[in-house]
Amino acid sequence: MVELDHARGLDHGTWSVLTKMSPRADIPLIQLSLDATLSPAEHYELGKNLKVLRRRPVLIVGSGNIAHNLRRASREHVDEGFHWAIEFDMKVTELVDQGDHQTLIDYRKLGPAAQLSVPTTEQHLPLFDAPALMELTDPVKYFNDPARMGSISMRSLLIR
């Protein structure tokens, strides 16, 4: 079910991205929330429903984290990632580039690097919206890709 909630403010995942894109907050915005009761496959299917918006002058931003394990974050590794966070980040990038969305959805089967990188799903689930909107021929550009604090990868992707 989709409904508007004018009383709720922006989630930090939305605010942290848009504050850099539009510091004056002068662009119209509709923020979609996660449904934590849904599986990654169900989130992917919901993302497909947004595909119709690609025919309109609408910017769709999916923000989340490929790797997000705050329990293992380290201030001693502010500008670098642990080997498992980098490995998982690179694997997700490879899957997006190959258009292998099913393996992306089944990320829990990708081994220890995936398990360490995604101990809980709330930061990872937004990742499924962008690939669900893609056509196999869409070029993908990546930004914000270095891993930080050992266990956080906020790689973002732009689909044109």
Residue 3 lies in a domain: no
* CB atoms closer than 10 angstroms to residue 82: 23
Residue 71 lies in a domain: yes
**What is the structure's pLDDT at 1?**
60
Residue 5 lies in a domain: no
* Domain count along the chain: 1
Q: What is the CATH number of the domain that holds 139?
A: 3.40.830.10
pLDDT mean values, one per 10 residues, the chain (160 residues): 73 73 78 80 87 81 81 91 94 91 93 94 79 83 84 82
Residue 4 lies in a domain: no
**What is the structure's pLDDT at 128?**
76
The rounded distance, in Å, linking the Cα atoms of 73 and 71 is 6
Residue 6 lies in a domain: no
**What is the structure's pLDDT at 149?**
93
Domain extent at residue 105: 12-159
Residue 67 lies in a domain: yes
How confident is the model over 104-130, as pLDDT tens digits? Answer: 999 999 999 999 999 988 887 877 777
pTM for this prediction: 0.82
Residue 66 lies in a domain: yes
Residue 149 lies in a domain: yes
DSSP per position, the chain: -----TT----HHHHHHHHHH-TT--S---PPPP-TTS-HHHHHHHHHTTGGGGGSS--------SEE-GGG--GGGTT-B-HHHHHHHHHHHHHHHHT-HHHHHTGGGG-HHHHHH-SSSTTTGGGGHHHHH--TT--EEEES-SEETBTEE--EEEE-
